[in-house]
Amino acid sequence: ETGVTQTPRHLVMGMTNKKSLKCEQHLGHNAMYWYKQSAKKPLELMFVYNFKEQTENNSVPSRFSPECPNSSHLFLHLHTLQPEDSALYLCASSQDRGQGSNIQYFGAGTRLSVL
């Protein structure tokens, strides 16, 4: 039990579908993150939220839309995805942002396949 829960664990969607990934952290943290893990590539930071405010967007295409209604929940809304978006999407949380020393705790990820 890592304290960070992601649902669903697996998702298959067509290019015209709309779906959402959910992340919930039970650690009392203030910062939450979305990462993309593709085969043979390093983990890529997508978005950062701190106290529900988005603080970083790493040039992510608009077909990915994050939402953070409170410090415990983070969503990633998906629409009109491409096959190259197939990957493992990892959520993480940390006590605070702003310093690289904040330890990030990861969920198990959602394995997304876009057909």
Partner 1 sequence: AQSVTQPDIHITVSEGASLELRCNYSYGATPYLFWYVQSPGQGLQLLLKYFSGDTLVQGIKGFEAEFKRSQSSFNLRKPSVHWSDAAEYFCAVGDSGGGADGLTFGKGTHLIIQP
Question: Where do contacts with partner 1 occur on this chain (CB under 8 A)?
Answer: 2, 4, 6, 31, 33, 35, 40-43, 45, 48, 50, 55-56, 58, 90, 92, 97-109
CB of 16 to partner 1, least distance (A): 29
- With respect to partner 1, which residue has the nearer C-beta, 58 or 70? 58
CB of 108 to partner 1, least distance (A): 4
CB of 18 to partner 1, least distance (A): 25
Tokens standing for residue 65: 């839309």
Quote the CA–CA distance of 109 and 92 in Å, as a whole number. 9
- With respect to partner 1, which residue has the nearer C-beta, 13 or 45? 45
Quote the CA–CA distance of 71 and 12 in Å, as a whole number. 28
Tokens standing for residue 88: 């493992």
What is the DSSP code (8-state) at residue 92? Answer: E
Around 76, how many Cα atoms within 13 Å sit in the side-chain half-sphere?
32
